[in-house]
Amino acid sequence: MAERVLMKGNEAIAEAAIRAGCRHYFGYPITPQTEIAAYMAKKMPKIGGVFLQAESEVASINMVYGAAATGCRVMTSSSSPGISLKSEGLSYIAGSDVPALVVNVQRGGPGLGGIQPSQSDYFQATKGGGHGDYRMIVLAPASVQEMASLTIKGFNLADKYLMTSMILADGTIGQMMEPISFEDAEIETYEKPWALTGTECKRKHNIVNSLYLKPDELEVKNFERYERYKIVEENEPMWEEYMMEDAEICVVAFGIASRVAKNAVVAARAEGIKVGLIRPITLWPFPTKALRAAADKVKAFVSVELNMGQMIEDVRLATECKRPVSLCNRAGGMIPSPEQVLESIRKAQKGE
Amino acid sequence: MKTTQILIAGFGGQGVLFAGKFLAYKGLVQDKNVSWLPSYGPEMRGGTANCSIILSDMPVGSPIITNPDVLVAMNLPSLQKFVNDVVPGGQIFIDSTLIDAKVERDDVQVFYIPATQIAKDAGFSTLANMVLMGKVIKESGAVDFAGNKETLEKFIPAKKANLIDINCQALQTGYDFA
Amino acid sequence: MAIVFEKPKALTDAVLHYCPGCPHGIIHRLVAEAIDELGIEGKTIGVAPVGCAVMAYDYFACDMIEAAHGRAPATATGIKRCRPDNIVFTYQGDGDLASIGMAETVHAAARNENITVIFVNNAIYGMTGGQMAPTSLPGQVTQTSPYGRDVKHCGWPIKVSEMLSTLEGPEYIARVAVNNVKNVKNAKKAIKKAFQNQIEGKGFSLVEVVSACPTNWGMTPQKALEWVESDMLPYYPIGVYKDRTAAKEAE
C-alpha cells in the first residue's frame, strides 16, 4: 500500500488531477476552494503544465471548453456563485460533447450567501444549471481519500462518455485534512478523433460546435446524447450501504452529511433502532435501484441534507413514494449535529 | 479502542491550526485514524480561529466536533464559547497567562498552564501553542509523546527546518510542566 | 485555359449565407488568403463567434470551434495553451468582442495571448436584426435606438483599437477598412501580419476591420461603403495603433 499522507481535501483533488494526467487548469479565486488553484499554481509550471488565473469564472470555463476541444484533460474549480457563472460554459461543453472536470466546493446560498459548507447546489448540479437538455456526471466525495479517487474517476468517465464530470464537494471536505494514500491512478485513455489538432491538410476539418439551426437535426443530437446518458444511468451509479442488512429505517445522505449521519446511525443502533445508511456517491446518475430495493425492506426514509430539501425529491422518485421520506436538514452553512439526525431517526422509527 | 476529540481555540495568529496539524501528524505517524478540520472565515489575522482534531483507533465518522473530550483554550472568548460543550469527565487546558477566569464546572479536569509566560521565559515566545500541546499529550494520552522530531519533519518545510528543535523544546517544556 | 482567379484553399466549398453586399465575404477571403500564403492551414484552429459570422466554422477549411457569445478569446486561450504550436485565430463582430466579450478581449490582450483576433466592426448587431452596438455612432438609427443613438442616455461608442493600444500587453493593434480596393489591400497586409506575429511568437495581434452592413443600415451596398468613408472612418480612423516590434526597431 502506498504511504499515507495528510492532505486537505482541496489539495487531494489537485494532486489527483495531476496524477490523472490533467496538465491544464483554468480558474478564478473564490472561498472555500482556493487551495486547489494554489496547488495547481505551484505544481503545474514544474511539470510542464499550465495554470492560468482567468479574468472571471465565465472566461475560465470557456478556456476549459477550448482546451477540452483539443482533447486535453482539463479542469476548473470554483464554489457555488462561481458555478452559476460557469453554467454558460457547462451548457456549451455539453452541447459540443467534449469532456471536462469541474469541481464545486459548495458554500451557502443563494446570492453571495456565505462561505460555510453547504449542499444547496444539488439541484444546479443534478438537474442542469445551464440551459438546454443535458446531464453531468455528479460525484459526491465524503472523505479526503474520495476527493482524490473520484477526481481520477471523474476524468475517466468524462472521457468515456464525452461529458462533464462534476465533483460536488463542500467546504468541510475541502478544508479538512485526513490521511490519504495515492494508489497508482488507473488512467483510462480514449481515442479522440474529433479533437481540434489541426488538419495537417490530411483530413476534413473537425468542428466542435453546439449550434444546429435546423430543429430536426438538433432533435437528433439531443436524442443521441440521451441514449448515451441512458448507458451512464445503467452502468455508473455508485453508492455505499452501511448497516442496511436488517435496517427498518434508511438514512440517505451524501458528502459531509453522510459522515454526520453515520455517527447518528451508530448511536441509534446503540438504542436498539435498526437503522442503516445509503450514501449516494454518484448523485447523477442517482442510485435509484438501490433505493427502490430498500423501499421494499424498510418502513421509512430520512434524507439528511445541508439545504432546504433537494435530494429528498430524488429519494421520493426513486422509491416511488412507497414509504414516507422525512427531511433532516440545516442550511446556510450550518451542519446538522448527530443528535439532530438521531432525533429524526427516532421519529421515523415511531412513524412520526 | 480509543477515540479522542480535541478542540483547540484562540485568536488567529496564535498557532491554533499549526498545533492541530501537529497532533494530526502525530496520529498519522502512529497509524491512527485522523481528521483535522479548521474553522475558516474571511479574516486572515486576529479573528477567532479553532480547529477540530479527531484521533481514533476506529474510522472517523463526522469530522465535526460538537462535544470535545479535550478543549484547549488560548483566549477568554474561546473558553467561554466552548466550556460547556466539553463532555463530562473531559479535560480543559487553559493558557492562564492570557485567561484570568476559572472553570466553574466540577465534572471536568482543568489544567491551568501559563503557556505564554513559560514560552517567553524559555526564549521561544511564539510557541505557547506547542507548550500546551506537550501538556495535552501527557494528560490526555491521545497519542504517544515519543517521536516529535520525526513528526515535525513531516510537515515543516525544509527551509524552516531550523524551527524543529525549538518546537521539540517547547513540547518538552509543556510535557514537564507540573 | 489558364486559371487567373480562384478561391483560397483555406475556404471550403460551402456557400456563404451572408446578405448580398456584405463585406464578411471579403474579410473571410482575406483571412483565408493570409492562411494560404503563410502555409498554415494544416495547423490552424479557428474560433467562430456568435453573430453574423456564427457559421464561419463551415467556411474555413481548418479545424474550427464555435464559441459562446463574446468568449472567443477565452476559448482561443484554452486551445492555444494546450496546443502552442498550432495557429489560433478568432473572428468576432462588434457586439461579440466589444460588448458582451469585452472582459475576455481586454484580458487576452493584457496577457499578450499569442493569438490572432479579427474584429469586424460594422457598428450594428447584424444577426439579431440591427440593434445598437457598442460601436454604433452617435445619432445612428438602429432598431433599439430608433431616434438615433443618444449618447446622454446610452453613452459613447467604444474605440477598441485605441483602448487596447493603451495596454502594455498586446503586440499589434491595427484598424483597417474594406470599403475600397486600396483599403482592402491594406487590410490584407495587416491581417497577414497579425498571423505572422503569432507564427513568430510575438503575441496578441488584433486587426479591427471597419466594415458595412447594408441590410441593417438600410442602404444599398454602394451607399453603405460610402457611409463607411463619410461617417465611420472619421470616428474610427485607419491606422496602426500599436506595433511593439516596429516601435522597438524605431528606437
Reported confidence tier of residue B13, pLDDT bands at 50, 70, 90: confident
User: Would you state the pLDDT for residue B43?
Assistant: 56
Q: How far apart are CA B146 and CA B137, in angstroms?
A: 10
Residue of B nearest to A267 (CA): B61
- Chain A residue numbers touching B51 (CB-CB < 8 A): none
pLDDT tens-digit map of A231-269:
999 999 999 999 999 999 999 999 999 999 999 999 999
Element at C93 (helix H, strand E): strand C87-93
pLDDT at B47 over 80: no
pLDDT tens-digit map of A262-273:
999 999 999 999
A325: cell is 421520506
* Contact check, Cβ <8 Å, C77/A63: yes
- In DSSP notation, A111-180 reads TT--SSB--TTHHHHHH-SSSSS---EEE---SHHHHHHHHHHHHHHHHHHTSEEEEEEEHHHHH-EEEE
**Segments making up each domain of chain A, as ranges:** 5-199+222-235, 239-349
- Chain C residue numbers touching A210 (CB-CB < 8 A): 66
* Contact check, Cβ <8 Å, A31/B28: no
Domain C24-250 bears CATH identifier 3.40.50.970: yes
* Contact check, Cβ <8 Å, C68/A92: yes
3-state SS record for A8-28: EHHHHHHHHHHHCCCCEEEEC
pLDDT tens-digit map of B95-106:
999 999 999 999
Q: How far apart are CA A42 and CA B41, in angstroms?
A: 23
What angle, rounded to 10 degrees, do the helices at B128-140 and B115-122 form? 120
3-state SS record for C128-147: CCCECCCCCCCCCCECCECC
Is the ipTM reported for this complex over the cut 0.90? yes
The listed CATH number (3.40.50.2020, 3.40.50.920, 3.40.109.10, 3.40.50.150) that belongs to domain A239-349: 3.40.50.920
Residue C114, classed as helix, strand or coil, is coil
* Contact check, Cβ <8 Å, A178/B35: yes
- Chain A residue numbers touching B64 (CB-CB < 8 A): 172, 256, 259-260, 335, 337
- Chain A residue numbers touching B35 (CB-CB < 8 A): 176-178
Residue C38 in contact with partner chain A when CB distance is under 8 A: no
> Residue written as cell 466525495?
A141
Is chain C in touch with chain A: ≥3 Cβ pairs within 8 A? Answer: yes
- In DSSP notation, B53-118 reads EEEESS----S--SS-SEEEESSHHHHHHHGGGSPTT-EEEEETTT-------SSSEEEEE-HHHH
What angle, rounded to 10 degrees, do the helices at B148-155 and B164-176 form? 140
Which residues pair with residue B33 across a beta bridge?
A: B56
Which residues pair with residue A179 across a beta bridge?
A: A6
Which residues pair with residue C66 across a beta bridge?
A: C48
CA distance A139 to chain B (A): 19
Residue C71 in contact with partner chain A when CB distance is under 8 A: yes
Q: Which chains are adjacent to chain B, needing at least 3 Cβ pairs under 8 Å? A: A
Cβ-based contacts under 8 A for chains A and C: 133
> Residue written as cell 441534507?
A305
Class (C level, CATH) for A5-199+222-235: alpha beta
Report the first-to-last Cα separation within chain B, whole angstroms. Answer: 28
Strands of chain A, DSSP E:
5-8, 24-27, 50-53, 74-78, 100-106, 137-139, 164-170, 177-180, 207-208, 239-242, 249-252, 275-280, 282-284, 300-305, 325-329
What is chain A's pLDDT, residue by residue, as a tens digit (352 residues)? 578 999 999 999 999 999 999 999 999 999 999 999 999 999 999 999 999 999 999 999 999 999 999 999 999 999 999 999 999 999 999 999 999 999 999 999 999 999 999 999 999 999 988 999 999 999 999 999 999 999 999 999 999 999 999 999 999 999 999 999 998 778 899 999 999 999 999 999 999 999 999 999 999 999 999 999 999 999 999 999 999 999 999 999 999 999 999 999 999 999 999 999 999 999 999 999 999 999 999 999 999 999 999 999 999 999 999 999 999 999 999 999 999 999 999 999 999 8
- B116 Cβ contact partners less than 8 Å away, ≥ 6 residues apart: B95, B97, B98, B125, B128
Q: How far apart are CA C20 and CA C6, in angstroms?
A: 20
User: Would you state the pLDDT for residue A273?
Assistant: 98
Quickly count: other Cβ atoms within 10 Å of residue A337's Cβ: 17
Q: Answer whether the bond into residue A32 is a cis peptide, omega within 30°.
A: yes
Q: How far apart are CA C97 and CA B43, in angstroms?
A: 38
At C136, the amino acid letter reads S
How many domains are there within chain B? 1
